[in-house]
Amino acid sequence: MSQLTARPPSALTIAGSDSGGGAGIQADLKTFAAHGVHGLSAIAALTAQHTRGVTAVHAPPVAFLRAQIDACFDDFDVRAVKIGMLATAEIVEAVADALVLHPDVPVVLDPVMIATSGAKLLDDNALGALRTHLIPRAHVLTPNLPEAELLLGRRIGAGADAEGALAALRALGARSVLLKGGHLDEGDQVVDRYTDASTVFAHRAPRLDIDGHGTGCTLSSAIAARLALGDDAATACRAGIDYVHRVMRDAYRPGRSMVSVLGHL
Ligand code: PLP
C-alpha cells in the first residue's frame, strides 16, 4: 500500500504538554508513532517544565479543549483515547462530556496527580470529579501507588495488601485496573498488578536503577496504542509494560537531571 492510501489506526491523547519533551503529550505522540499508530492530541494543560521540575502550569479555556477533541473525532477513526494530566475539575468534566458522544471508544485513564519531581498536576478538588465522571468511563485505569492511595484514601503496602487495593480500585468503576508497582518496595523486583472481570495477573520484572521521567505517560499511551491496534485490555497492558521496560533500558539524558525514555519499538 502506498503511504497515501495507508490508513493506520488513530489514537487520541488528551493530556498535558511537557515543554521538556519527556512526559505528557510529547511522550504520548512518540509512543503512538513507535507503535505505527497515527497520534492525535488535545492539549488539556500546558506546563513549563524541564528535567528538574515544573515551573508553571497554564490551563486553556475548556471550550478550546472541547474544540480540539471534537475536531479529532470529526475527521479521524479514533480507535482509542489516552487521558493524562487534566489539571482542574472543570477540565475533567469537559473531557467526560466530550466522551459521552463516543461511548464505544476505549479509554485508558492515567490519573495523573503529582509529577516525579513533586509538582502538583491535579487540583485537590478535581479528585472527586475524576472519580464521578471519568473513572466509570475507563477501560483501563493506570494509577501508580501515590495515585492509588489518594483514590482509595488509605496507605497501600506490598503483597496481599496491594492485591486487595487492586480489587478496591476496580470497584471504583473502571473496567480494568493496572496498579503500577514502581513505588512499592518489593525487593529487587517491580510488580505491576492487573485485574478485569475475568483476568488477574501480576507482572514481575527486575527493578531498573533509572531516575526516569515520563514512564507513566509512556505506559498509558503504549496501552492505548495496543488497544487501537486491536488488543484486548489485558494483552495491551502486558505489551505496554514490556515496551516501557525496553525503552527504559535505552533511555537517554537530554537535560541536566532525570532521564527521558525514547519512543521506539
Ligand atoms: N508533565 C506532564 C504534562 C505529565 O502529563 C506528567 C505525567 O503524566 C508529568 C509531567 C509527570 O511525569 P513524571 O511523573 O514521569 O515526571
pLDDT digits (tens, 9 = 90+) for 99-119: 999 999 999 999 999 887 788
Residue 5 falls within a domain, yes or no?
Answer: no
Q: Ligand 1 test: best mutation among 85, 91, 258, most atoms within 8 Å of CB?
A: 85
Residue 226 clears pLDDT 90, i.e. is over it: yes
Please report which helix (H) or strand (E) contains residue 227, including its range. helix 215-228
Give which of 133, 168, 175, 136 is closest to 151, Cα–Cα: 168
Average pLDDT, stretch 166-193? 94
Dihedral pair phi/psi, residue 153, rounded to 5°: 70, 30
What is the CATH number for 90?
Answer: 3.40.1190.20
Residue 149 clears pLDDT 90, i.e. is over it: yes
C-alpha cell at 211: 531516575
The Å distance, Cα 120 to ligand 1 centre, comes to 10
Question: Based on the structure, what is the number of domains in the chain?
Answer: 1
C-alpha cell at 104: 464505544
The Å distance, Cα 84 to ligand 1 centre, comes to 8
Average pLDDT, stretch 164-192? 94
Residue 38 falls within a domain, yes or no?
Answer: yes
Q: What is the pLDDT of residue 203?
A: 95
Residue 239 falls within a domain, yes or no?
Answer: yes
Residue 74 falls within a domain, yes or no?
Answer: yes
Residue 205 falls within a domain, yes or no?
Answer: yes
Range of the domain at 99: 10-260
Q: Ligand 1 test: best mutation among 57, 112, 120, 211, most atoms within 8 Å of CB?
A: 112
Pocket of ligand 1 (CB under 6 A): 15-16, 18, 23-24, 47, 49, 84-85, 112, 115-117, 121, 213-217
Residue 196 falls within a domain, yes or no?
Answer: yes
Residue identifier of the C-alpha nearest atom 5 of ligand 1: 24
Residue identifier of the C-alpha nearest atom 2 of ligand 1: 24
Residue 4 falls within a domain, yes or no?
Answer: no
Which residues face 177 on adjacent strands? 141, 195
Over pLDDT 90: what percentage of the chain?
Answer: 76
Average pLDDT, stretch 158-168? 93
The Å distance, Cα 24 to ligand 1 centre, comes to 5
262 pLDDT band, cuts 50/70/90, is: low
Q: Strands 189-195, 53-58: parallel, antiparallel or unpaired by DSSP?
A: unpaired
- B/e letters for 140-162, b = 16+ CB within 10 Å, e = fewer, are bbbbbbebbebbbeeebeeeeeb
The Å distance, Cα 151 to ligand 1 centre, comes to 18
Mean pLDDT of the residues in the chain: 93
Residue 3 falls within a domain, yes or no?
Answer: no
pTM for this model (two decimals): 0.95
Ligand 1 atom nearest 217 alpha carbon: 8
Predicted complex ipTM:
0.91
Question: For 242-255, how does the pLDDT look when each residue is reduced to its tens digit (9 = 90+)?
Answer: 999 999 888 778 88
